[in-house]
Structure 1
Amino acid sequence: MPKPQTGTLTQSPKAVRFWSWIAGAFLIIVLDQITKIYFEGNLQYGERWHVLPFFDFTLLYNPGAAFSFLADSQGWQRWFFTAIALGATGLIVYLLRRSPTQTLFCASLMCILGGAVGNVIDRVQHGHVIDFLLFYWNNWYFPAFNVADIAITCGAILLVLDELLRMRRHKRKPEEPA
């Protein structure tokens, strides 16, 4: 019987699924970076383009984290948040490789991975994250955000949903005798 060739182009279904999740994260990163480049090239800092009575495009920089957490610090937060995101990236890639067939779980990780890397690129390249989406109502403003933030938020929601569904499946499973 002939030996299987090494280095052939055939991959296991798990490997294909893993690389599909990585490709999805890469698409999020590309979309995030393209939109940031566009708005940074077409708006001045603080300028706003009115789109709807409750939504504007704007150009703002966030040296902190979500909701400008630690934005007023002396600059150390840039590397702190970069290190956290890189650590999370390593963990997410490990989890995607370990269980690429868990669709909802991996979709959530893909979104978080794409968003985290998109914002890390900004932190390393600019020292801050570029935000351009601004929702408001009268005098109330939601903090400006970007595509990476949307991906991270969607990923977090999907992760919670996946866990709730997992707990529900586990609860429905009949107890095994001891």
Structure 2
Amino acid sequence: MRRWTIFASIAIVGLVADQLTKLYIDRSMQMFQSIPVIDGLFNITYVRNKGAAFSFLSQASWRLPFFIAISAVAAVVIVIAFNRLRNDQRLAQVSLAMIFSGAVGNLIDRVRRGEVVDFLDVYWRAYHWPAFNVADSLICVGVALLALDMLREEQRQKQAKS
């Protein structure tokens, strides 16, 4: 039961942070408005993305039902995977909660708006990384932590065999 409390806590905090930041950006900025935060490195820039990462499939007519379905399936698969974790797999539990939160955050945008609100603009000189949001950050950090946990789990299994 404790691990589901951890999952729910992380997922809710992540989801609330994602949705509140998107709401704030949507209500306080004009589309394409940019506010420098760290000159030459980071801006808050309001954009919307109809596709996935790097605007992938943004022009496809079937993109919205596709992304909604993928996000919903991903959320279910994450819950199933989480349920199969051992109690001692804390890092995996945290990472799956983060990934779940991010997937649901972007799913909410797609259902409500038909597109995702992005605003974190990281760049170096004229080279901009595609804008992203808190949900995207949760997914990326969650995936990195999950990869780390998988490496640690592999080491644990090797040590147990020897």
TM-score by length of 2: 0.94
Letter in 2 for 1:63: K
Distance in 1, Cα, partners of 2:68 & 2:12:
18
Q: Which moved more, 1:148-157 or 1:45-54?
A: 45-54
- Give structure 2 stretches of 5+ with no counterpart: none
Task: Determine if the alignment matches structure 1 residue 172 to structure 2 residue 159.
Answer: yes
Identity %: 41
Tell me the SS of whatever aligns to 1:92: helix
| 2:134 is equivalent to residue 147 of structure 1 | yes
Out of 65-74 and 94-103, give the one that drifted further: 94-103
- Number of residues paired by the alignment? 160
More helix by share: 2
**Contact 2:3 2:93 (8 Å CA) reproduced:** no
Q: Per-residue deviation at 1:22?
A: 1.7
Deviation track 1:52-90 (CA, whole Å, cap 9, x = no partner) reads 11111011001101121111222x111111111111111
Residue of structure 1 in register with 2:82 after alignment: 96
* 2:88 is the alignment partner of 1:135: no
What is the CA deviation profile of residues 18-54 of structure 1, one whole-angstrom value per residue up to 9, with x for unaligned ones?
1321221011001000000000111111110111111
Aligned twin of 1:119: 106
Partner Cα distance (2:114, 2:86) in 1: 33
Match in the other structure for 1:27: 13
Q: Distance in 1 between matches of 2:91 and 2:2?
A: 16
Do the aligned partners of 1:18 and 1:100 also contact (CA within 8 Å) in 2?
A: no
Bigger CA radius of gyration: 1
Aligned equivalent of 1:85: 71
- Verify: 1:73 aligned to 2:60, yes or no: yes
Q: Is the 8 A contact 2:6 2:94 kept in 1?
A: no
